[in-house]
């Protein structure tokens, strides 16, 4: 049987293949909640440990959702009738939240280059002064 392993070059402490693409060293292990036979202690550690599935990021997103429901959601009496006003209010709110949250992640990872190229599939950054846009000079 042929050896299918690819020699990987280490760039900035990260293993990359011959074309410079990031490839993980091994496949990620499945979550312990899907393991058979069940391992409840490991599943609870995975769920509630720090860092784990729930803490910290999913808990933060859950708090944002609860705060949105409690303070930014239109009254349910208004939502009982299919009208444009409350739908537009929810749509604008959701778009604003998307821009703020996704924009914050974008600024953190791409503008400040917080993680460098450690978790990028390619080690190249987006072009900033390209003269060609969609094939048009």
The larger pLDDT score, comparing residue 61 to residue 124, is at 61
Residue with tokens 């006003």: 85
The mean per-residue pLDDT over the stretch 7-27 comes to: 74
Residue 56: cis peptide before it, omega within 30 degrees of 0: yes
The mean per-residue pLDDT over the stretch 75-91 comes to: 95
Question: What phi, psi does 9 have (nearest 5°)?
Answer: -90, 140
**Percent of the chain scoring above 90 in pLDDT:** 48
Assess whether pLDDT exceeds 80 at residue 73: yes
The mean per-residue pLDDT over the stretch 91-117 comes to: 93
Task: Give tens-digit pLDDT for 22-71.
Answer: 777 788 888 999 989 999 999 999 999 988 888 899 999 999 999 999 99
Strand partners, 136: 133
pLDDT at position 23, please?
Answer: 76
Q: How far is CA 137 from CA 55, 74, 127, 131, in A?
A: 48, 48, 15, 6
Is the pTM of the predicted complex or chain greater than 0.75? Answer: no
- Check if the beta carbon of residue 16 is closer than 8 Å to that of residue 10: yes
- Check if the beta carbon of residue 3 is closer than 8 Å to that of residue 9: no
What is the rounded end-to-end Cα distance, in angstroms, of the chain? 50
Query: Average pLDDT of the chain?
Result: 85
pLDDT at position 93, please?
Answer: 97
DSSP letter at 19?
T
- Check if the beta carbon of residue 48 is closer than 8 Å to that of residue 54: yes
Residue with tokens 């094939």: 135
């Amino acid at each position: 049987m042929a050896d299918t392993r690819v020699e990987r070059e280490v760039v900035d402490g990260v293993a990359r293949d011959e074309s410079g693409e990031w490839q993980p060293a091994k496949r990620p292990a499945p979550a312990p909640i899907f393991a058979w036979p069940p391992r409840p202690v490991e599943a609870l550690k995975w769920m509630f440990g720090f860092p784990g599935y729930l803490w910290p990021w999913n808990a933060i997103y859950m708090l944002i959702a609860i705060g949105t429901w409690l303070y930014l959601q239109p009254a349910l009496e208004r939502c009982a009738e299919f009208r444009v006003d409350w739908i537009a209010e929810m749509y604008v709110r959701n778009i604003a939240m998307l821009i703020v949250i996704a924009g914050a992640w974008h600024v953190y990872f791409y503008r400040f280059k917080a993680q460098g190229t450690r978790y990028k599939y390619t080690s190249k950054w987006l072009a900033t002064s390209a003269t060609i846009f969609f094939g048009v000079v």
